[in-house]
Structure formats: C-alpha cells, structure tokens
Structure 1
Amino acid sequence: MASMLSRLIIFPTPPSLIVSVMSVVSLVVIAGLGVSEILGKHMLYSKFWNLNPEKSSRKQIKLSSRTGMLVLYVPAFLSGAVSFVLYPNHDLRLFLVKATLTIHFFKRVVEVLCVHKYSSSAVVLDSAIPISSSYFSATSTMIYGQYLTQGFPEPQLDLKYPGILLFLLGIIGNFYHHQVLASLRTKDDKEYKIPKGGLFDLVVCPHYLFEVLGFIGIFFISQTLYSFCFTLGTIVYLIGRSYATRRWYLSKFEDFPKDVKALIPCVF
C-alpha cells in the first residue's frame, strides 16, 4: 500500500546515499526541534532568545536580531541562486523547485532588511548556526535530489500546478502577516504587543500557517522523498513553535484572548 502510494505521488528514490540519509536526518532533526519547543527547550531567537531554563556555564555569543536573521537566510538564498548555474536545464519541475526555494529565501532576506521591526531581543549564535545550516542543506539537497530525478518516470499524479498555487498563497499570506506584525511597532517601540489584524484574530501564528502552505506547495512541485521529509519535519517544527508562542503570549499578557488558537483556526 505504501509503495503504491509513493508511486502515485513521489518520484522513485534516486540511487544517492546522500539524499537518502539527508531525508531521514531532516525529518528526525527538524521534527525533534518541534517537540523540543513544546517541551520548553527553545531555539534561541526572537522572543525566546533568553527563556530556556537551563543556562549554559559558557558565555553565549549574541547577534543583533537583524544580523542573526541574515545569518539564518542568506546562505540558503545563495544556494538557490547558485543552483541556476550548477544545474542548467529545460525541465519545468526542476526550474520551479529552484525558483520557489530561491524566492522563498529572497523574500526572507528582504523582510529582514525592509519589513521587520525588532525588539531588544537577539539571536544566539549557537542557535543561528544549526538553523542556517539546516536551511542551506535543505535547499541544496532538495534541488540536487530533484536534479537526480531527470529521466525517471513521473509520479502518476502530477501535483506541480496545485503546488504553484499553494506556494503563491503561502508566500503572499506569510508576507502580509509579517507586515501586520511590523505595523504593531513604531520606529522606537521595542515592546511586544498582542497581534491583531488578518488571521491574528483567529490564530497567534498565521505567518507560520502560510509558511506551512508554502512548503506543502514546494513539495507538490517537487514530489520527491526528500522534499516530503523536509516538509513534514517543518510542519512538526512550526506546530511546536506556534504552540510555544501561544503559551508565551498567555504567560505575558493577562488579556490575551483564550479562544485564539496556535496555528489552525478553531482547531489547534
């Protein structure tokens, strides 16, 4: 049954030990980070940069929020951009995978530079390095794995066109809600506020919800085992991160509305 399902929606796995190993590693590691968020062990950036109860005895290197976020996203963006030179071709699916990943991280860089307004929080280097490495390796592996499918039989169900629509919905919705968050602060305002507007009245992390939709769209375009594993791991991570974010707002604001969910309106 599983084999039949995989043939229906996923390319045959190319004979690459690197791609096979990275598929398992990405799923286990990224999903594990999501579970850690639920358990209260956070990646140290944004509002959680100083919340972990266990303090390390060695001195932590802190980056400004803007610098730290650029460290997170620039390597993955460069990986996507360089892939157009490394893997030139006329295959539509490979082109779309390269384009969507490059656009996704280019948008992130633009938001860091032009949209986000930062609090007094920071990004701890010990968290920035693994996150940046994860994004970079995921982008590189997903594109390489797609390149290896050249000449393989296509999945029976072609999902790339619904994937394009989901990706566009995800990236537009994510960008819009980042703008809503940014509008909550004036230039010199460093304090967190209860977010309002858009889907923030229903869930505390609609930007994560649209990010999930965007990555599902990339999987639909790619239809490889690696993209499935990375997307599934990312969904688990964002579920954990949104759960932790809602818990943080409830602890910080007595008037935070209890009916606002974490990620999925009226459900979770």
Structure 2
Amino acid sequence: MFGLEDETMMGIWALIAGCVMVTLLFIPAPYGRHASKAWGKGYDSRWSFFFMEIPAFLIMGIRFLLSEHKTAVSTVFCLLFELHYFRRTFIYPFTLKGSATYPIAVSLMAIVFNFCNGYFLTQYLTGANVESYPVTWLVSPQFLIGLCLFLGGMAGNRWADHVMANLRKPGETGYKIPYGGLFRWISCPNYACEMVEWLGFCLLTCTPPAWVFLAWTIANLAPRAVSHHKWYKATFPEYPKNRKAFIPYLL
C-alpha cells in the first residue's frame, strides 16, 4: 500500500527534481557534446546506458511478478512501462555508434534516478492501490488518450533516435545537423517525444508517482534540449533559424 511515508518521500523526491532542473539550466550534464574532463574518465556509452536503464526495468518486473495485487489494469500498466524500458535497456544502447564515453559519476546519478522513480511507481502500481481501478478503466477516455500519447511519444522518440544514430556514415566522426520530420521545427524531438510519452503514462495511470516521474523527466530533458539547441546554433552558422529547442514555435 502506498502510505503516508511513501507520499512524504515522494514529495521530497519531487522537490529535488525542481532543484536539479534549475541546476541543469546553468550547468549542462557533462556527457555527449557537453562532456567535461573535470568529471573524470568515463566508460563506453553503450554499456553506460545499459546499466543506467536496467534498474527501472528490473524493479518493475520483479515487484510485479511478486505482487499479490495483480489485476488486468495493473498488468497493462506494468507492460507499458516495461515496453519502454526494454527498448531503452536492451535495444537502444546497442544502436549507438562511435567511442563516446560517459563519466561514471553521471551514470551513478542516472542509476539512482531510475531506481527511485521505479520504486515509487512500482510501490503504487503493484500494491493494493491498483485494485481500485475497475477493468472498465482500460476503455475510459482518459486511458485511451493517454495510451495514444504514450505510444505516439514512444514512436517519435524511436524515430528521432534512429535519425540521430544514422547521421554519420561509417568511419565518420563528429556531429551533424539533423533534418526532416520534427527536426523541421525543433532541435530535440527525441526529448520532446519522451516527455509526451510520459505525459501519456500520467494520464493513462492517473497516479501521483507517475506525475513525479514526469516532473523528473522534464527536469532532466528540458534543460538538456535547451543546451543542445544553444550548442547547435553556436557550432553551425547555417543552423536553421526557425527551429526551437523542444516546443515548436515557442521554446
């Protein structure tokens, strides 16, 4: 059961998300194009992503299998969550090319992030709370709208990742300007679509931990999208002037 102690811990966790977002607006996370030697030596980005993402996949899967409160609704919730993290853990990392590295400190922070968010969600979605959902929830407008946003965001995120991963020809290094699709309007459709995906999960589950999960997603990805956008404009004089960071025509 998701009790008062869990709610208190989740509230503190949400406040930390706000602090992290403010920090990242001024100090970009030091990996990828914003890498900094000050954070020490890193290790292969493919394995880094694998270890960063797997805690959420495991905690949801294990706790669901051990739960005494399984319902049709909770099964769908958990399968959707696992669908996202299966791809992020076992497929996406091994589509990455090149020899990019991630600082160990950044990886450890991401592991903590995924473990804590996974804990709060699974505490709710595999506990007695989920028994309050009638099976008709799966055909409710809120669930169906949320499902469309979730799957659409996932598809958009996968498409953007594919475009980014295939910008360089074999043997090439460095960064290039992506074009086409959502890249016509924003610099980071991968981040924008992931935020839409988790907004959909919030709607289809209607759980407080899901909204905190979304808050953390925005806290991490929105500042990074802004940093990427500024980097593109500073690096490429020919960069399209009409693009925004992650919200078309606005931001």
Determine which structure has greater relative contact order: mean sequence separation of CA pairs < 8 Å that are 6+ residues apart, divided by chain length.
1
Do the aligned partners of 2:41 and 2:104 also contact (CA within 8 Å) in 1? yes
Q: Aligned residue for 1:6?
A: none
Aligned with residue 42 of structure 1, among 16, 28, 31: 28
Letter paired with 1:159: Q
Match of 2:106 in 1: 127
Q: SS where residue 130 of structure 2 aligns?
A: coil
> Within 1, Cα distance between the matches of 2:66 and 2:133?
23
| Residue 142, structure 1, aligned to residue 121, structure 2 | yes
Tell me whether 1:21 sits opposite 2:8 in the alignment. yes
1:196 paired residue among 167, 176, 179:
179
Q: Which residue is equivalent to 1:238?
A: 221
- The secondary structure found in structure 2 opposite 1:186 is coil
Q: Do the aligned partners of 2:28 and 2:223 also contact (CA within 8 Å) in 1?
A: no
- Which structure 2 residues correspond to residues 1-268 of structure 1 after superposition, within 5 A? 14-17=2-5, 19-39=6-26, 41-50=27-36, 55=38, 60-87=40-67, 89-109=69-89, 110-113=91-94, 115-118=95-98, 120-146=99-125, 147-152=127-132, 159-268=142-251
How far apart, in 2, do the equivalents of 1:124 and 1:135 lie?
17
**Structure 2 alignment gaps of length 5 or more:** none
Contact 2:124–2:130, Cα closer than 8 Å, also in 1: no
SS of the aligned residue for 2:229 comes to helix
Counterpart secondary structure, 1:123: strand
The CA RMSD over aligned residues, in Å, is 2.3
1:158/1:94 Cα in 2 relative to 1: closer, same or farther (>3 Å)?
farther
4+ runs deviating over 6 angstroms: none
C-alpha change, 1:99 and 1:88, in structure 2 (3 Å) is farther
Cα distance between partner residues in 1 of 2:143 and 2:110 = 27
Distance of 1:98 and 1:88 partners within structure 2: 14
- Residue identity matched to 1:24: G
**Amino acid in structure 2 at the alignment position of 1:126:** A
Alpha-carbon shift at residue 83 of structure 1 (Å):
2.9
Residue 251 of structure 1 deviates from its aligned partner by 1.8
Deviation at 1:153, TM superposition (A): 7.2
Report the alpha carbon displacement of residue 63 of structure 1 after superposing the two structures with TM: 1.0
Distance of aligned partners of 1:158 and 1:23 in 2 relative to their CA distance in 1, 3 Å threshold: farther
Instruction: Give aligned pairs, total.
Output: 245
Q: Which amino acid aligns with 2:47?
A: T
What residue ranges of structure 1 are gaps of 5+ in the alignment? 1-12
Shift of 1:217: 1.2
**Deviations along 1:33-72, whole A, 9 cap, x unmatched?**
2222221x12222222228xxx46xxx2411111211121
- Structure 1 186/88 Cα, relative in aligned 2: closer, same or farther at 3 Å? farther
Question: How many Å separate the matches in 1 of 2:216 and 2:116?
Answer: 14
Partners of 2:105 and 2:30 in 1: CA distance:
8
Pair 71,44 (structure 1): closer, same or farther in 2 beyond 3 Å: farther
Assess if the C-alpha contact under 8 Å between 1:170 and 1:211 holds in 2: yes
Q: Residue 121 of structure 1: CA displacement? A: 3.1
Say which SS state the counterpart of residue 102 (structure 2) adopts: strand
Question: Aligned pair in 2 of structure 1 residues 92, 26: CA closer, same or farther (>3 Å)?
Answer: farther
- CA shift at 1:144, angstroms? 1.3
Residue identity (%): 23
